[in-house]
Structure 1
Amino acid sequence: MNMHIVARVIFVFFCLFTGPLLAADSGNSSFLVLNYHDILEEEERVPPFDRIAVNKDHLADHFAWLKQNNYHVISVQDLLDCMKGDKVLPTKAVMLTFDDGYLSFYTRAMPLLKKYKYPATLAVVGSWLEQQNVPGVKPLMTPAQIREVAETGLVEIASHTYDLHHGIVANPQGNQQSAVTSRLYSNEYDEYEKDEDYRKRIFQEVDKSSERLFQILGKRPRVMVWPYGEFNAIALEATKLAGMRLTMGLNDGANTLADAYVMKRMMITDDVNAKQFGEIVKNQRVGQELRVAHVDMDYIYDDDEEQTEKNLALVVERIKASGANTVYLQAYSDPDGDGNADKLYFPNRHLPVRRDMFNHVTLQLRTRAGVRVYAWMPIMAYKADVPLKWYVKEWRGGEPQLSRHIYTRLSPFNPEARQFVGEIYEDLAKHCDFNGILFHDDGILSDYEDVSPLAMEFSRNVWGMPAEFDTIHASSELRMRWAQHKTELIGQFTDYLADKVRFYRPYIKTARNFYSLPLLKPYSEEWYAQSFPAFLKHYDYVAVEAMPFMEEAENPKQWLIELVEKTAQYPDGLDKMVFELQAVNWKTKQDIPMPVFIEQFELLKKHGAKHIGYYPDNVFNDQPKLAELKKFFPVSKKD
């Protein structure tokens, strides 16, 4: 699965609606899209500093650096011509974009664009053009000035929506989030905006923005620049029908021609100088090492909502101080600790809601602690009021019976069960804004599972396996082949779940918990239906349980070294593996002593581990000890 391309569902959607526009072969050509906002004079740079504003002199230095280093600044028309095959994308291609239509673009950026003859895209908010003094917004260009820069032939005027450049109330806690992707929450009626009302609102706003720019320019915009970089498949459909085939989000990284419908853009922040700018352009701010704290929402939840908020404040401050840059956050409730989802922490159509708080907690962690948040969700382990035939069956006593595994898993062979889980993931994405999905470690099938009638029929008809369990189990070759098919089936099922999420949250990353034994002893895939090569194919990251005490390793240090060395034997293995240490010894019910925890962390790093995390993070027991954790956990410059 190519994770450099925005969600497959988005790409497929556009292929269906746009027709044969792409060039037949774009080779390895790529292009960057850079994003600026307000341009300041030096004397205007006074506290509190605007992180997304750039000094005019630094902007001039950026343009000079691009020219000196042989970058080619291309226009929207150039890009369209390349997509049609009429032109070839030049090497070191860059697009320049400026958001919001500030007056400083006209007075400070435009003279530089003319000097260098650099084309640029200017994204304007339709409703802001109706009033020149928008509360909380810096001085804006007039419609006449917008028309003037467009007539130079250097500036493409793009829509920044009509009136979606703001937040709306998106949850019961009153948090405001993107008006493009959020469902409006009504405290008066205690309900979310209905699907049809949301869709109507987005389509009307996109159409209105196109009409307003037509009134100013005499032509409709060809590009949509999403406020805050937020969009989804519904918003993309609206722009397509409004004639805007190209759209831009906000994500670091390079684009290929296939990405042009939903381009990544790198926002230039912190008023960087030419040298810093050059590093951003060359390295694209990708490949950051992960430091992961794995957090139980059940620790944060309290029956008393006021106490819940106090708990949340403690967790946010702790995570911020720890140096973590990523949080795997439980989105389901599991009060008895058996690993199955009893309830959920977000609105959904299938399971009880313990409290609608996942979106709220995620927002606090992202904005106040500055971390990326992955929704930690089961693949199959749901305690639901559904027919027993939906569940995984094991071969026992000479016949298929309900599995006795601690995980009460819905069968991935059952289409109704797959749809059931898919709708849960869809509801998660519809109502919550997050950065990724962590698939729980419940995605296993033993060498005695799944033997439900549907599973055995699928195995026979699709995989060509024998119809009888005893025949399969009598042959080591057949057992392994059966396991490999099941490994891939679960991988494809999680792809389906990820695509359900990406319909609403296109840029999410995926990770999946991975047992250590299938890595250390690949033949054990037979007992788990898990393999590292399969996981590398399906997920952005693989989170291995690097927990020697849980595995009762005779030599914990050597065990961890072997885990890293085995990982390194696979292409991209270390780039995609997250080593999750245990902070608690569940067998002794004791916290892991910090000297041992630190020693294991340093051992992993020494032998080449890049991404390291731990589970669980317990704010109430201060485990791992924050005073120690924050000394070594952050990614240092030496890392």
Structure 2
Amino acid sequence: MLRTLACLFCLALTAGAVQAAEPTFLAINYHDIIDEEERVPPFDRVAVSRDHFESHFAWLKQQGYRVVSVQDVLDAADGKRSLPAKAVLLTFDDGYQSFYTKVFPLLKKYNYPATVALIGTWMDRSVKPDMPGDKQILTWEQARELARSGLVEIASHSYGLHQGIPANPQGNEQGAAVARRYNKETGRYEDDEAYRKRIHDAMEQSADFIFQNVGVRPRVMVWPYGEYNEITLEAAKEAGMPITMGLKDGANTLADLRAMKRLLIADDPNREQFAGIVTGLRAALPQRVAHVDMDYIHDPDPAQTERNLGALIERIRDMGISTVYLQAYSDPDGDGNAEQLYFPNRHLPVRQDLFNRVAWQLKTRAGVKVYAWMPMMAYKAKLPDDWYVKEWRDGKAQTAGHIYTRLSPFNPEARRWVGELYEDLAKHCAFDGILFHDDGILSDFEDASPQALAYTRDVWGLPGDFAALHATPKMRLAWAQRKTGLMIEFTDYLADKVRLYRPYIKTARNFYTLPLLQPESEEWYAQSFPAFLKGYDYVAVEAMPFMEKAADPDRWLAEVVKRAAAHKDGLSKTVFELQSMDWNTQKPVPMETFNRQVDMLRKLGAVHIGYYPDNAHNDQPRLSDLQQHFALPR
């Protein structure tokens, strides 16, 4: 009897946990649906063949997915009804004629609701679609019929923002909704006020054109190219479109209606491939990372800079990798401190406005994700002395002797100053993630500034004098653990500054190997592998045996992977960064050694592998070897 009651109690708890779980739904995004005879070059990567498209619908029904409408989702958010299990929202961008001729009949056959997003300039025929082929667009009469059907939600895809505008001095055009317009005649970017006004005006126009032509005011904004930021979200809400949709992979909760994730269906997947996309959400794809110095690309001669960039693009494209960590600051003397930056900003000299150009070319021509590699604290600038980290030496707090000249994360003014650099980076540049530099360390003698010691006493409740903090191993570790957490909070603050303008970014942070191999050495670094795994999307471990002067490099690397694998998510969230240069000898690591290390990491279960540095000028590491040993499967 007692066992029965216990089982019933467990079942009740389980049922309560299920009920308490936040409901989720998927949003799937299509564009054009074409017949087989229309599959001719130049190919439209987001077009899906009719046969494959119909197989997707059949699979969804067979697997028990329930296709819901925007109204169903809103009712669930308002508590009027519950979302069904395995709920799916179907969305179609750009308003192609195929939505009426091929999709709409299937919607009626399956009784599936869907959302179609219209572009004003395309509907008005004032601008031709910017996709391959002779694309035909819905007519206004067809749009009105769709709206009357009760199955189709008419959304805005903007009136005139589905286009590029000049976004840097080199003339690259980027999405009009998020880019700051660059005026070549004045050499200036659109300022905050002008940008905000342009976006607010555009959102009003984006809602009005549908109301004027269809008779319904849209409540959904589908962002051109999936790009949005805090300013666009607020402008859409003020224009009556509080629901918006991007193009980020993943499932949604009812809290995500402000900016839904959607699975973009590209490369015409068949039934099995579609099933893999829907069930796997394209999560945890392996990364192959090249870590690139912008200082290798920049040249005083603009023509040479362009030649260097062209060589880099071709090299990265031919590698078959997924990701580039790209230096956003200038460090010509190699001391790891930023003295100049490669993007417009309010605090440091601009060596050249180049980062956005290089990142955009890498993204669009080489097809990789780009992470902006930026220091956390190591900036050389004419700033007050008390903004910097202090080291306890010779019985007093004084300028730290570390090669990194670090601003103190305890100083609110220093934090704000660095935060504004990150904000300026995000305003002016298109990228996919942030790599926090390896300057984010505090030794067991740092930070001993008066402000840091006061914070240690008042906020953490630890002793406020250095001697007491350093008196015992237990106290030193307690101090280090607090500093570890403080620097993670600081990077959260920096990432939030970026997300104001680039909300989809991922985060990675460089990590020294000693705190992984000897966790007690957190005392000397203020770095913890478990804390980093929780704090970042990826931990970039500097798996560099020659830099560490390992007696047996292969055994040392194997131990690094073994220690990482012992942690939850230790392999799925770690990028093992090899070295391609032996800085002790100032010679490249032999390719035989580099290749062996890559192959060994893979055999040991490493998912994500990178290397530093990449030198396109000297073909180091050698491209042919990278293609064989380092590239991702195609």
Please tell me the TM-score bracket, short chain as reference. over 0.9
**After superposition, where does 1:467-482 map in structure 2 within 5 Å?**
467-482=464-479
Match of residue 414, structure 2, among 407, 411, 417: 417
396-405 vs 61-70, which moves further: 61-70
Q: Pairwise CA RMSD of aligned residues?
A: 1.3
> What residue in structure 1 maps to residue 120 of structure 2?
126
Encode CA deviations 1:277-330: one digit per residue, 9 max, x unaligned: 122112122211010000000000100010000001111111111122100000
Q: Which of 69, 76, 87 is 2:70 aligned to? A: 76
- Paired amino acid for 1:342: E
Match of 2:142 in 1: 145
Whether the aligned pair in 2 keeps the contact of 1:328 and 1:375 (CA below 8 Å) is yes
Instruction: Select which of 101, 106, 110 maps to 1:107.
Output: 101
| Amino acid corresponding to residue 475 of structure 1 in structure 2 | T
Contact 1:132 1:142 in 2 (8 A): no
Q: Kindly state the Cα deviation for residue 148 of structure 1 after the two structures are TM-superposed.
A: 0.6
Correspondence for 2:400: 403
- Which residue among 425, 445, 461 is the counterpart of 2:442? 445
Q: Which moved more, 1:147-156 or 1:464-473?
A: 464-473
Match of 2:10 in 1: none
TM-score normalised to structure 1 length: 0.94
Q: Find the counterpart in structure 2 of residue 374 from structure 1.
A: 371
Give the 5 Å matches for 1:157-556: 157-556=154-553
Contact persistence 1:30–1:93 (CA under 8 A): yes
Once residues 508 and 458 of structure 1 are traced to their aligned partners in structure 2, the CA distance between those partners, rounded to angstroms, is: 31
Q: 1:375 to 1:26 in 2, by over 3 A?
A: farther
Tell me the distance in 2 between the aligned counterparts of 1:92 and 1:324.
Answer: 34
Q: Report deviation, 1:128.
A: 2.6
Give 2:85's match in structure 1, choosing from 91, 94, 99. Answer: 91
Work out whether residues 132 and 140 of structure 1, in 8 Å CA contact, stay in contact via their aligned partners in 2: no
Q: Is residue 2:619 matched to residue 1:622? A: yes
Q: Answer with 54-63 or 304-313: which moved more.
A: 54-63
Aligned equivalents of 1:298 and 1:469: distance in 2? 40
User: Residue by residue, what CA displacement relative to the aligned partner does 1:327-382 show, whole Å, maximum 9, x if unpaired?
Assistant: 00000000000000010000000000000010000011111111100000000000
C-alpha displacement of 1:594 = 0.9
The residue type equivalent to 1:605 in the other structure is R
Partner of 1:56: 50
Unmatched 5+ stretches in structure 2: 1-17
Is the contact made by 1:101 and 1:141 (CA closer than 8 Å) also made in structure 2? Answer: yes
- The offset of 1:134, in angstroms, is 2.8
Shift of 1:129: 2.7
Out of 594, 608, 612, which is 2:591 matched to? 594
* CA shift for structure 1 position 606: 1.2
Q: Return the letter of the residue paired with 1:313.
A: G
1:555 corresponds to which letter in structure 2? D
SS of match in other structure, 1:575: coil
Aligned-residue offset at 1:59: 1.5
Whole-Å separation in 1 of the counterparts to 2:540 and 2:39: 43
- Give the number of equivalent residue pairs: 614
Deviations 1:409-454 (A, max 9, x none): 0000111100000000000000000000000000000000001111
Q: CA deviation at 1:583?
A: 0.4
- Counterpart-to-counterpart distance in 1, 2:130 and 2:371: 32
- Deviation string, structure 1 residues 166-221 (Cα, Å, up to 9, x no partner): 00000000000000000000000000001001000001111111112122333311
CA deviation after TM superposition for structure 1 residue 133, in Å: 6.5
In 1, the alpha carbon distance for the partners of 2:51 and 2:443 equals 63
| Partners of 1:440 and 1:512 within 8 A in 2 | yes
Structure-2 change in CA distance of 1:318 and 1:462 (3 Å): same
How far apart in 1 are the matches of 2:627 and 2:324?
15
Cα offset for 1:152?
Answer: 0.4
- The letter for the 2-side match of 1:153 is G
Partners in 2 of 1:319 and 1:132 — Cα distance? 38
Output the amino acid matched with 1:454. Answer: Q
Task: Give the distance between the partners of 2:208 and 2:263, measured in 1 at CA.
Answer: 28
Structure 1 stretch displaced more, 29-38 or 571-580: 29-38
Question: In the aligned structure 2, how far is the partner of 1:235 from the partner of 1:53?
Answer: 27
CA drift of 1:123 comes to: 0.3
1:12 is aligned to none
> How far did 1:136 drift?
4.4
What secondary structure sits across from 1:478 in the alignment?
helix
Greater mean alpha carbon deviation, residues 478-487 or residues 56-65:
56-65
Indicate the percent of aligned positions where both proteins have the same amino acid: 63
Q: Contact 1:26/1:257 (CA < 8 Å) preserved in 2?
A: no
Report the equivalent of 2:35. 41
The residue matched to 1:375 in structure 2 has which SS? Answer: strand
Counterpart residue identity of residue 201, structure 1 = R
- The whole-number CA distance in structure 1 between the counterparts of 2:600 and 2:161 is 49
The alignment status of 1:566 with 2:560, answered yes or no, reads no
Q: Which amino acid aligns with 1:52?
A: V
Instruction: State which drifts further: 197-206 or 553-562.
Output: 553-562
Task: Name the SS for the 2:325 alignment partner.
Answer: strand
The CA distance in 1 between the partners of 2:84 and 2:484, in whole Å, is 42
Amino acid at match of 1:83: A
**Quick check: 36-45 or 439-448, which moved more?**
36-45
**Are the counterparts in 1 of residues 550 and 556 from structure 2 also a CA contact under 8 Å?**
yes
Conserved 8 A contact 2:121-2:127:
no
- Aligned match of 1:575 in 572, 577, 580? 572
SS in 1 for 2:541: strand
Greater relative contact order structure (CA < 8 Å, 6+ sep): 1
Instruction: Quote the offset at 1:501 in angstroms.
Output: 0.1
Question: Aligned to 1:544, what secondary structure does the other structure show?
Answer: strand
Aligned partners of 1:392 and 1:411 also within 8 Å:
yes
Give the Cα separation in 2 of the matches to 1:347 and 1:99: 34
In the alignment, the residues of structure 2 paired with residue 397 and residue 583 of structure 1 have an alpha-carbon distance, to the nearest angstrom, of: 39
